Structure 1
Amino acid sequence: MRDITTSKRVGIRISLIYLFISIVWVLASDLLINSYITMTWVNILKGWIFVFINAFLLYKLIQRNFEIVAEKKELYQQLIENSLETNLIHIDGEIVYINQAGVNLLKAYNRKQIIGKSVFDFIPTHEKEKATARIEETKTLGKSRPIIITYKCLNGEEVICESLGFATTYQGKTANHILVRDVTEREKAIGKINYLAFYDELTGLPNRNKLYAYMEKIIGNQMEEGYPFIVMFIDMDRFKIVNDAMGHSSGDKMLKEVANRLSASVDQDALVARFGGDEFVIVIPYMKKEQSPLFAQKIIEMFKQPIHIDQNEVYTTPSIGITCYPDDGDDVDTLIENADTAMYYAKKTGKNKYKVFTQLLRDDLNNHFTLENGLRKALEKNEFILYYQPQLHLETGSVIGVESLIRWNHPKKGLLSPVLFIPVAEENGLIVQIGYWVLDTACRQLTLWHEKGLSNITMGVNISPIQFRHKDFINHLEKILTDNKLDPKYLNLEITESVFMNIDESLFLLKKLKEIGVKISIDDFGTGYSSLSVLKDLPIDYLKIDKSFVDDLYSNEKNIVQPIIDMGNNLNLQLVAEGIECKEQLMILKEKKCHIGQGYYFCKPMDVNVTEAFIKNNLK
């Protein structure tokens, strides 16, 4: 546009100069000629001068225009030749020009390898129809719409390109000029984004989005045809243990193998999807509900074989929840939620099993969540209270301490046993807050009793394994003891054997507790993981014999109380028998040299006032 404007200015300038000189010449030329020259020669001379001037001016104007055209042509050629995008010109399919970018794109050594060949030599077979359509479009309309098309390079590689064509002339012939841009990386990135929108990157299985789309589709089909289908929600047990112990790369390998095994277990009509983490969903069209347990059991059997990871054998088991369309739901969300509910109960009741959904499971789960929400409010509204069960010296009958036992004073259901809500609190983590409340309340009450003259009474407090491993447990304990001005030796922390699954961590914490000065009891001894070899190294003070062993005192075959008592005495530990319910049990325990006991024979757990009165009446 700038060159055209310049050309116009030059032409106008020359024309104005020509006009000015012509006017001056016409007006003044007669005066410049001597009078003796005849008029004929004057006119001839004036004409020749005019012709020469006109020819010179026209030459300069035409020369300038040719220079502009040549400059523009050279600039255009340089732009095309040095363009980073491929510029290709073909006449009826025969390539007559290609720039250096095109040579590089098609992996040629020079232009000679390309010029003269058909443009279709560089188009894969499956793309030739698309290319032909765009060439015809260019001939008809003068240009074509941009398309994404694959080009085949001379070395056999394929590149994805964005291509645009328009009509042109080349050496006087009608031609097609094609602009080509390599968008391989962009298209791969878009393809990966589209893939990851519906498929899991690690396992290659359909993901949640694909699962939902698939289920919505078959629900639409099944509504017309009336056939059922099965949804199985699978959670792989012990995955977190493998992940933590062997690292995330091993966990990934395990998930890939799980995906392979699940995929191999179904036919092509079924869909196996990774729902997230270690959770998978299988959708099986046309399967009836009564057929599903057999298939679920097949999956369970399949994982009895170990998974080999880096020369290690790893075992995992599936917990499976099963729902059926339309019996257990007629939309995707309901079917998935109900299958998840059934899986939760399979996991809760022992793992490595399947559970078929029923409405009773849903009702129970709703009650579970109602209870969980109620627990949160109970903490806020101070609805928990402590009951206490005295512990007596079996020889003297004197009260030596009490065990604190939490109760929930539910606003609608009344006094609830910890059996009903502590497992829920342990599942959702509320046990830590509840545990600290119990610890603080029990220590405060013991301080009050000491101030009233009941100075030798100890307080037993149950510590959940979750609370025991809480990162601030030691700090919280020290603060509670300080705030309540309680001598640590009167506090007896009761822990279960399950904490010894990680013996090194537990031993470290127990030593810290002993440094503080509190007493430590192993609660429900004999029902868990500890053994003599472990027990002898633990800094503990009491062994509590579980009620189930006390109940078997009359059976010589089942009775293991004596070995426990002998072991405790050999280790200089105090023995506490739980659940004493009759005089005969008391007499046998005394005979076997058990030191301390508690149970309904003496009294049930009582509120603070009744407990205080019991202590005063039984101090000797």
Structure 2
Amino acid sequence: MTFCSLISLNVQNKSIRSFLVYFNIFSSIGYAIGTLNMLPSARLYPSSIALLVYALSILILSSRMHLNIVNNMNKKLYDQWKFLYQVIDLNPNYIYAQDENGRYLLMNQSYAQLMGKDIRYMIGKTDDDINKDSIKETPFAHQEIDSHKLGKFSIIEESITAATGEERWVQTVKVPIHINESSALLAVSTDITERKQYEDEIKFQANHDALTGLPNRRMFNEDLTNLLEKAKINGSEIAIVFLDLDRFKYINDTLGHNFGDCLLIEVSRRIERLLKQSYQSAQVYRLGGDEFTILLPRSTSKDCEGLAKRLLKLFVEGFLIDNNEYFITPSIGISIYPKDGDDANTLIKNADTAMYYVKEREKNNYQLFTSEMQHHFYRKMMIEKHLRTALENDEFELYYQPILDLKTNKLIGMESLIRWNNHILGQVRPDEFISIAEETGMIIPIGQWILKTAVKQSVSWQKEGTEPFRISINVSVKQLLDPMFVEHVKTIIENANIDPSNIILEITESIAMYAESMIEKLNRLKALGISLSMDDFGTGYSSLSYLNKYPLDSLKIDKSFVMGMHRDDENKAIVKTIIAIAKQLDLKVIAEGVEGFEEWHFLKEIDCDYAQGYYFSRPLPADDFKENWLKELN
């Protein structure tokens, strides 16, 4: 027995060791009681008592050992349960479970905080129960537990409003579980707000212009397609308004891209304000560069014209940039579904056509698309095509129009004017092809040809014995912007061996956009010995402050003021004013467009220096000009 006790004391398991120790004790007691059977008078009663002690000891010790094992197991289960809840509570995801009636069975701390409630308050309640006691609804208040769907696994993304009022995006995984033979739904919601914000930002960048924040071309095409589908069902009209800024490229090139960007931002803000105030169903887009588009659902031609007029008024006031005021005007083209097309591409093309129709003519105006414009732009396309080979095919010719001194009625010079005769297009007017030549850059080689040809013709006549006289040559702004222009002029003068004082370059008022840089270039031209004249004065953008800085020799009054001047007192006043300004600046004045005696007489009376026009002669080919004018001059 002693040996057994010693062995029992060395058992590592506490419960078993305790069982063996106490069992040995009780066994010793039972054994001691059993020895009483040796007494005859005991009649074996001690054996019964010993057996009872053995049985009770085994029962008590077994029960005690079982109780310890159960307690240990319960303690381990409690520790595991506690650890599990700690893990769930520490999990940033929103975890909860609801039975088939929508009652909460469990939840973690993150979910309780999201709901703005205490866990103990929410367990056993449904969202409806909680909302009855609360001013605000729980984030998932509108979720319904469908008992038929409890057996289905699902993943959903949804927007919720937390108890704090903050909007959050979550991705919820719902897993069916079974508890005590009943069904429940375990949900784990992950906060994906940052991911959604990033996705929204990427989507916004893909569909919006980075500079102005306006929807871009991609969004425009998508919205137009959707609107057309609805319009076809509803039988309604849709208007597309194209808006392009006049001469924006010149401004951008002169003042810099940063300035151009600021101007585009200000333009977009003005348009947005107008639409928010008066056309809330309309949306403005920036297609790129200086092109803006407006979609106007359920709109008639009258509605579109009203919007176009209000858009034009937006540009009457200047744009304040860096504390300086700048002015710019728009050209607006409009097409309407279904009158001008029944698909997006046709409507876009026609609105674009109408806009360019305005831009080619008066600018700062609007135009609804008409079918006649298609013919116009087809001809323009053909002109551009044949213009590229016109120099090679020797299709250009210079005509010359005399310029007379109004005091002496004598010829003092002539203006060279280009004419184009194409074997397919026939005679093409300068006002048709010059603008296209400028757009395509063809004006540079064409301008060089004009300058060479005019100078060569003048020298040829002088060699034939004609006394030297001045020849005026029109120069495009695009030519003046060419870095090599001054060198080209110098080379032509030197090669022709002509007196540069007999050459007059006629420039337009649009050089005012390049004031400072242009003054330097004009001074270099003057240094060559040639004269400079400002053509079409009064119709452009000249500033009087810059006019005084330009190294000019003369001004040419635009024919729109001279023609019919005797019937219009307003034009008379303009002509008088221009002459007065010129005299103050010590400039000569040339009036073009003199078509009758009345104009000639009036110009002579108000001390105009020179004149040209049909009253004296139409522009003539070189041979005719020589025959009709130079012989008389000789």
Q: TM-score range by the shorter chain?
A: 0.5 to 0.7
Q: Distance in 2 between matches of 1:574 and 1:242?
A: 30
2:292 to 265, 279, 295: 279
Q: How many Å apart are 1:329 and its aligned residue?
A: 2.5
8 Å contact from structure 1 (residues 254, 307) kept in 2: no
- Cα distance change, pair 431–116 in 1 and its aligned pair in 2 (3 A): same
Q: Secondary structure at the match of 1:511?
A: helix
Structure 1 segments unaligned to the other structure (5+ residues): 1-72
- Cα distance change, pair 374–166 in 1 and its aligned pair in 2 (3 A): same
Q: Deviations over 1:581-609 (max 9, x none)?
A: 67898788778776655555665433344
1:509 lines up with 2:521 in the alignment: yes
Q: Which residue of 2 aligns with 1:256?
A: 269
Q: Distance in 2 between matches of 1:584 and 1:147?
A: 87
Q: Which amino acid aligns with 1:327?
A: K
Pairing 1:82-481 to 2, within 5 Å after superposition: 86=93, 88=95, 90=97, 92=99, 125=138, 127=140, 132=145, 140=151, 144-149=153-158, 157-166=166-175, 180-194=189-203, 202=212, 207-222=219-234, 227-235=235-243, 240=248, 248-249=261-262, 251-266=264-279, 270-274=281-285, 276=287, 277=290, 279-285=292-298, 289=301, 291-292=302-303, 295-296=306-307, 299=310, 303=314, 320-345=332-357, 350=362, 354-379=366-391, 381-391=393-403, 401-426=413-438, 430-446=442-458, 456-481=468-493
Q: Secondary structure at the match of 1:283?
A: strand
Q: Distance in 2 between matches of 1:190 and 1:456?
A: 75
Q: Distance in 2 between matches of 1:379 and 1:323?
A: 37
8 Å contact from structure 2 (residues 512, 543) kept in 1: no
2:620 to 596, 606, 613: 606
Q: Which amino acid aligns with 2:475?
A: I
Q: Secondary structure at the match of 1:437?
A: helix
Q: How many Å apart are 1:231 and its aligned residue?
A: 1.3
Q: Which amino acid aligns with 1:231?
A: A
Q: Which amino acid aligns with 1:362?
A: Q
Q: Deviations over 1:154-209 (max 9, x none)?
A: 75545423343557899999997765544222222333445566677856669413
- Cα distance change, pair 436–114 in 1 and its aligned pair in 2 (3 A): farther
TM-score, normalised relative to structure 1: 0.65
Q: Which amino acid aligns with 1:161?
A: V
Q: Distance in 2 between matches of 1:168 and 1:588?
A: 104
- Cα distance change, pair 171–377 in 1 and its aligned pair in 2 (3 A): farther
8 Å contact from structure 1 (residues 239, 278) kept in 2: no
Q: Which amino acid aligns with 2:489?
A: L
Structure 2 segments unaligned to the other structure (5+ residues): 1-79
Q: How many Å apart are 1:265 and its aligned residue?
A: 2.4
Q: How many Å apart are 1:520 and its aligned residue?
A: 1.0
* Deviating more after overlay: 590-599 vs 358-367: 590-599
- Cα distance change, pair 183–445 in 1 and its aligned pair in 2 (3 A): farther
Q: Secondary structure at the match of 2:151?
A: helix
Q: How many Å apart are 1:494 and its aligned residue?
A: 1.0
* Deviating more after overlay: 147-156 vs 487-496: 147-156
Q: Distance in 2 between matches of 1:172 and 1:312?
A: 80
Q: Which residue of 2 aligns with 1:491?
A: 503
* Deviating more after overlay: 293-302 vs 503-512: 293-302
Q: Distance in 1 between matches of 2:327 and 2:566?
A: 42
8 Å contact from structure 2 (residues 312, 330) kept in 1: no
8 Å contact from structure 2 (residues 94, 111) kept in 1: no
Q: Distance in 2 between matches of 1:175 and 1:602?
A: 104
Q: Distance in 2 between matches of 1:165 and 1:271?
A: 42
8 Å contact from structure 1 (residues 400, 456) kept in 2: no
1:519 to 498, 516, 531: 531
* Deviating more after overlay: 305-314 vs 477-486: 305-314
Q: Which amino acid aligns with 1:187?
A: K
- Cα distance change, pair 365–104 in 1 and its aligned pair in 2 (3 A): same
Q: How many Å apart are 1:460 and its aligned residue?
A: 1.8
- Cα distance change, pair 474–329 in 1 and its aligned pair in 2 (3 A): same
- Cα distance change, pair 500–313 in 1 and its aligned pair in 2 (3 A): closer
* Deviating more after overlay: 406-415 vs 197-206: 197-206
- Cα distance change, pair 379–161 in 1 and its aligned pair in 2 (3 A): farther
Q: Which amino acid aligns with 2:157?
A: I
Q: Which residue of 1 aligns with 2:77?
A: none
Q: Secondary structure at the match of 2:274?
A: helix
- Cα distance change, pair 148–593 in 1 and its aligned pair in 2 (3 A): closer
8 Å contact from structure 1 (residues 127, 149) kept in 2: no
Q: How many Å apart are 1:418 and its aligned residue?
A: 1.4
Q: Which amino acid aligns with 1:357?
A: F
- Cα distance change, pair 154–584 in 1 and its aligned pair in 2 (3 A): closer
Q: How many Å apart are 1:568 and its aligned residue?
A: 5.5
- Cα distance change, pair 461–96 in 1 and its aligned pair in 2 (3 A): same
Q: Distance in 1 between matches of 2:624 and 2:314?
A: 56
8 Å contact from structure 1 (residues 549, 559) kept in 2: no
Q: Which amino acid aligns with 2:353?
A: T
8 Å contact from structure 2 (residues 139, 161) kept in 1: no
Q: Secondary structure at the match of 2:228?
A: helix
Q: Which amino acid aligns with 1:147?
A: I
8 Å contact from structure 1 (residues 404, 442) kept in 2: yes
Q: Deviations over 1:393-443 (max 9, x none)?
A: 677877654422111112134333313332444455543443233224334
* Deviating more after overlay: 468-477 vs 89-98: 89-98
Q: Which amino acid aligns with 1:421?
A: F
Q: Which amino acid aligns with 2:239?
A: V
Q: Which amino acid aligns with 1:370?
A: M
Q: Distance in 2 between matches of 1:353 and 1:453?
A: 52
* Deviating more after overlay: 499-508 vs 314-323: 314-323
Q: Secondary structure at the match of 1:365?
A: helix
Q: Deviations over 1:553-576 (max 9, x none)?
A: 878963887876677667655554
Q: How many Å apart are 1:261 and its aligned residue?
A: 1.9
After superposition, the CA RMSD in angstroms is: 5.6
Q: Deviations over 1:304-333 (max 9, x none)?
A: 996997999998877654444433323333
Q: Secondary structure at the match of 2:620?
A: coil
Q: Deviations over 1:444-494 (max 9, x none)?
A: 444555666668344321112343345554344345445656554343101
8 Å contact from structure 2 (residues 330, 365) kept in 1: yes
Q: Which amino acid aligns with 1:274?
A: Y
- Cα distance change, pair 83–453 in 1 and its aligned pair in 2 (3 A): farther
- Cα distance change, pair 83–606 in 1 and its aligned pair in 2 (3 A): farther
Q: Distance in 1 between matches of 2:495 and 2:90?
A: 80
Q: Which amino acid aligns with 1:272?
A: Q
- Matched positions, count: 535
Q: Which amino acid aligns with 1:252?
A: I
Q: Distance in 2 between matches of 1:404 and 1:317?
A: 32
8 Å contact from structure 2 (residues 115, 138) kept in 1: no
* Deviating more after overlay: 578-587 vs 176-185: 578-587
